[in-house]
Amino acid sequence: MVKVDRRIKKTQDALKNAVLELMAEKSFDDITIQDLTDRANVSRGTIYLHYLDKYDLLDKLIESHINELGERCKAAADLDFADGSLIWTKYFEENYPFFSMMLASKGAPYFRSRFLDFLIDEFKDEIDVTKGKNKGLNEDMLIRFVASAYVGVVEWWFMNERPISHQALAEQLGDLLERNCG
């Protein structure tokens, strides 16, 4: 693994925080590079040293969270649905500002689509349409149904400012997944 210079990491973190803060104030499309430089206290050239444009910055931010969810999913491979969901909901809780901005606002519909695609890929190995209550169902449709439901529940949780704990969310998501995938 390549070690990143602390100054570079600090600058990238400042830019990622700046974009999230600005998205809380206005639409992503209305955010300018100048807004980002002012908020992150960096020069215009510094932004372009690290990112192609604001879309690349947002894409890299989204990609880092999707990758981390993937790593946590690999770590949860041998767990049941509730314990596996707990790993994710804990991550959602720890990164509340990012996920609430991406899911509870209309600021970044691209994230929802990426998250859904990620979940569809993850659930492919969990759904079996050859036996049990799912026997005979169209596999692609069932996978999309389960992934869409999962995204919808997580969106609900953020849009309603976490009405239940992340532990309760994980437990209930695990129960729902067990009913539909197990």
Q: What is the CATH number of the domain that holds 162?
A: 1.10.357.10
Containing 107, the helix (H) or strand (E) segment is: none
- Give residue 9's Cα distance to chain centre: 21
Residue-wise pLDDT for 83-92, tens only, equals 989 999 999 9
Tell me how far CA of residue 114 lies from CA of 15, 154, 182, in angstroms.
21, 14, 25
Residue 128 pLDDT > 80, yes or no?
A: yes
Residue 1 pLDDT > 70, yes or no?
A: no
DSSP state of 126: T
Mean pLDDT of 94-109: 81
Give the pLDDT score at 170: 95
Q: Whose CA is closest to 91, among 66, 116, 121?
A: 66
Residue 126 pLDDT > 80, yes or no?
A: yes
DSSP state of 133: G
Based on the domain organization, do 86 and 15 belong to the same domain? no
Residue 76 domain boundaries = 64-181
C-alpha 95/C-alpha 97 separation (Å) is 6
Residue-wise pLDDT for 33-65, tens only, equals 999 999 999 999 999 999 999 999 999 999 999
Give the pLDDT score at 2: 65
Question: If you search the block for the tokens 């609900």, which residue do you land on?
Answer: 156
Percentage of the chain with pLDDT > 70? 96
Residue-wise pLDDT for 153-176, tens only, equals 999 999 999 999 999 999 999 999
Count: domains in the chain:
2
* Residue 143: partners with Cβ closer than 8 Å, 6 or more residues away: 120, 123, 124, 127
In a domain, 58, yes or no: no
More confident residue, 169 or 102: 169
In a domain, 151, yes or no: yes
The whole model's pTM is what?
A: 0.84
Number of helices and strands in the chain (H, E):
9, 0
Question: If you search the block for the tokens 């990164």, which residue do you land on?
Answer: 95
Residue type, 9: K
In a domain, 59, yes or no: no
Average pLDDT score over the chain: 90
- Give residue 136's Cα distance to chain centre: 31
Residue type, 69: L
C-alpha 46/C-alpha 18 separation (Å) is 14
CATH for 30: 1.10.10.60
